[in-house]
Amino acid sequence: MKRIAITTLGCKVNQFESASFASGFEAQGCILVPFQAEAEVYVINTCTVTARAGQQSRQLIRRVLKERPGARIVVTGCYAQMDPEAVLDLAEQPVAIVGNGNKHRLVEAALVENPPDLVLLMGKIREKKEVCELPVTRFRDRTRAYLRIQDGCDNFCSYCIVPYTRGRSRSVPLAGVLDQTAVFAEQGYRELVITGINVGKYGLDLAEGQTIYRLLDRLCRDFPALRFRLSSIEPTEVNDALLELLTGHANLMPHLHIPLQSGDDRVLARMNRRYSRAEFAAVIRRVHDALPQVTIGCDVLGGFPGETEAEAENTYRLLADLPIGYLHVFPYSRRPGTLAASFGGQVPGPVKAERVQRLRVLDAAKRQALYRDNIGRIHRVLVERRQAKSGLLQGFSENYLPVLFAGGASLLHQVVAVRIVALKDDQPRGVVAEDALEERRQNR
């Protein structure tokens, strides 16, 4: 029985795919071990969405090649897809490189007897018409699982390498989504995060008449015991249909992550984002009006090429004025192969760092305001683990608040009614609500 070690960099789609690799290896009788342990096979699922992610991928590949000279090394993911030659330059021993369009062949390539010095399973990702079939049996040690419904992207934002590493938008057929959901439900998962590169485009490439809205409705109706959460959705895809689903299905969580990237119209145009600051603001306010308890998060880039102080200020002011709960702030990262890499006016590092830091301070203030607004409210918290440092249970509420509270082991992996009573160390603290205790007594 071969020992297999898998590590994953990057997005939730990568994490889903690594879980599929793990399921495939286990089906072949292999033993999964931590990545730091001795193993016959090491799988590195890489990322290259930013320059730093690409650097981390290179460093990890180089370290494993050096430390595990007798092992079989399999490199996959977006860094491998974008620059397989760079992976080959790092390798002075047999290696397998598996492109994103061939991840369904990874387990086979890793376990082949008497492998050749080089296995290169790449192909032209932009010509792929279907999503790789990658079934997952279970996520290891998780109460929440990722449900991949889509891959690829057609947006071609000027700063983004993903369309070149993931290909065009492609959807998992409805039957495949339902089958995977049923597996997770049978395994006892309580919440599924709907994941893809651009989930709002789900179904548009299929001849099934499916859309993301029809899919969400079907999932919520067919699996009422499961909580569903959208990982991210574009502002142009937030509409009446989505709001009706959020207000009409108790198991569709009131939490949306809506990327902004910039709050200035000229920068948005240079980014090839297809909305204005006014349109984005209208979407956020519309969602908040329909769902007052919703948590809205968004992505924002600091220091895009050519960004002036006035344009950076426009972004800051827009975010400060909107009912947004948290920000994911990133410095612009120059990616060779993207349109923005050739733009003039690259913002100097210290200026970029200052703008990013200002946005991160705003993020911290937004989070604290969100947490304070929820003091006194009861939320249904999915308990994921016990925090080692404090001994408290921790989990996420419907609207994605990270809540800590005292409770027994029987509450682990359960959905528990918790009243938020205070903030401590900048985190919401709660107590099990009395009505939840009474409900548990009646169900015994």
pLDDT digits (tens, 9 = 90+) for 7-24: 999 999 999 999 999 999
Which one, of 91, 102, 33, 87, lies nearest residue 65 by Cα?
Answer: 91
Please give the pLDDT value at position 440.
Answer: 53
Please give the pLDDT value at position 93.
Answer: 79
Q: Does residue 367 fall inside a structural domain? A: no
Location of structure tokens 């090649």: 65
Helix (H) or strand (E) holding 271: helix 265-271
> Which domain range does residue 93 map to?
3-123
Q: Which of these three, 72, 96, 123, is where a domain ends?
A: 123
Q: How confident is the model at residue 439 (pLDDT cuts 50, 70, 90)?
A: low
Q: How confident is the model at residue 329 (pLDDT cuts 50, 70, 90)?
A: very high
Q: How confident is the model at residue 437 (pLDDT cuts 50, 70, 90)?
A: low
Contact yes or no for 68/34 (Cβ under 8 A)? no
119, 131: one domain: no
The helix/strand/coil state of 44 is strand
Which one, of 16, 42, 48, lies nearest residue 333 by Cα?
Answer: 48
Q: How confident is the model at residue 277 (pLDDT cuts 50, 70, 90)?
A: very high
Q: Is the pLDDT of residue 103 over 70?
A: yes
Between residues 128 and 291, the one the model is more confident about? 291
What interhelical angle do 349-373 and 309-321 show, nearest 10?
10
18, 114: one domain: yes
Q: How confident is the model at residue 444 (pLDDT cuts 50, 70, 90)?
A: low
Q: What is the mean pLDDT of residues 274-292?
A: 97
Q: Does residue 99 fall inside a structural domain? A: yes
27, 13: one domain: yes
Question: What's the pTM value of the predicted model, to 2 decimals?
Answer: 0.92
CATH number for the domain that contains residue 83? 3.40.50.12160
Asked which of 152-166, 259-273, 423-437 is least confident by mean pLDDT, the reply is 423-437
Q: What is the pLDDT of residues 81-96, one digit of tens each?
A: 999 998 888 887 788 9
Q: Which of these three, 223, 253, 283, is where a domain ends?
A: 253
Q: Is the pLDDT of residue 321 over 80?
A: yes
Contact yes or no for 226/253 (Cβ under 8 A)? no
Q: Which two tokens stand for residue 106?
A: 């990874």
Residue-by-residue DSSP string for 389-406: TT--EEEE-TT--EEEE-
CATH number for the domain that contains residue 226? 3.30.750.210
Asked which of 261-270, 295-304, 332-341 is least confident by mean pLDDT, the reply is 332-341
236, 134: one domain: yes
Q: Is the pLDDT of residue 400 over 60?
A: yes
Contact yes or no for 326/295 (Cβ under 8 A)? yes
57, 151: one domain: no
Residues 6+ apart with CB under 8 A from 67: none
Which one, of 172, 160, 165, lies nearest residue 129 by Cα?
Answer: 172
Number of structural domains found in the chain: 3
Q: Which of these three, 253, 281, 301, is where a domain ends?
A: 253
CATH number for the domain that contains residue 416? 2.40.50.140
Q: How confident is the model at residue 442 (pLDDT cuts 50, 70, 90)?
A: low
Q: Rounded mean pLDDT of the chain? A: 93
158, 249: one domain: yes
Q: Is the pLDDT of residue 443 over 80?
A: no
Between the alpha carbon of residue 355 and those of residues 242, 352, 374, the distances in Å are 33, 5, 29
Please give the pLDDT value at position 127.
Answer: 84
